Structure formats: C-alpha cells, structure tokens
Chain A
Amino acid sequence: MNTHFKTYHPYVSPFDPCKPILEKAYSTPPNLYMGFQPPNLPQFTPSEALKAGTLWKAFYDPWFSPLEPGKGGLPQ
C-alpha cells in the first residue's frame, strides 16, 4: 500500500517574513503506482462508488479542506 502524500522540509531563512511552514506535503495519488490495472480489483458497491468518485477501492484518495471540521464518513 502506497501513501497518498509525501512530505518535505523547505529551507527556513531567518529573513522569511511569514511564519515558516516547517513541513510541506504534496499529493501522490494511487494512479502513480497502479501500472496497468489488473482485473478483478475489489469494488465499492454502486452507491458507495458514486460517493467515492471511483468504482475501485484502490483508486480512492479523498481530499478534504482544512476548513471542513470533522469530515469523514465516506467508504473505507
């Protein structure tokens, strides 16, 4: 199982005007790792699939806003 994001630590200068963000993250979605999709991958049920935006669980990689408190409840 691959992680859906990676992190790095930008250089911090004493002259940076804004409060430094010590760790930055970027998205690495599942399509980067799948290769040619093999047959018979586990699927969501149809109504879960619509909510997830994909029929196959392996591609599910939701993005939430920091402004949406306590969100969740999508298919596992």
Chain B
Amino acid sequence: MKQVPAEYYQIMEQLQTVDFVLVELSLYLNTHNEDLEAINQFNHYAKERKRIKKQFESQFGPLQQFGNSYSGYPWNWDDAPWPWQV
C-alpha cells in the first residue's frame, strides 16, 4: 500500500494557499484593472507559485501537462494518486 509522505500535503497546501491569493486577486482585478498595488501583489505571488510548483514537481511529479510541466522518465503525469484520492 503506497501512500504519499506528509511532505506531499505540506507543499500542496503551500501551493493551494498561494494559488488562492492569486484566484482572489484575479477576480478582483477583473473589476479593478487600475489597482497598481493589487497588481504588484499579484505579480509577487505569481513568482512565488512558480517556485513552489517547481519544488513540488521535483518531488512528486508534474502538476500540469500538455507541456506546462516537464516530464520525468518514464512518463509520470498519469501516476496515481489523483487529487481526490489523497
């Protein structure tokens, strides 16, 4: 019975946290497109999510595909677990 380590949940939650800020700022900026401070905050967290995505993928495989993530060998995009399984 293969299970993901505790670190999977920790890094995943870091990503979920940063991505949630980005979702909220995206919706806000769609109706407030001249709020420079919010745009700066958005770009700051966009950079941060890149860093966390890279860290997560180096340990647990690609988060996105169709070329939005690199692949390991053998092809590991379709490896379990899927998000609803963990």
Contacts and interface: CB of A to CB of B under 8 A. Distances in A.
Given A54-B24, A55-B20, 7 more contacts: A39-B32, A39-B35, A40-B37, A46-B20, A46-B45, A55-B24, A55-B28
Contact of A49 (B20, B28, B35, B38): B20
Interface in A28-67: 36-37, 39-40, 46-47, 49-50, 54-56
Interface in B19-42: 20-21, 24-25, 28, 31-32, 35, 37-38
Main secondary structure of the interface of B (DSSP, over half): helix
Given A37-B28, A55-B21, A55-B24, A50 B16 contact: yes
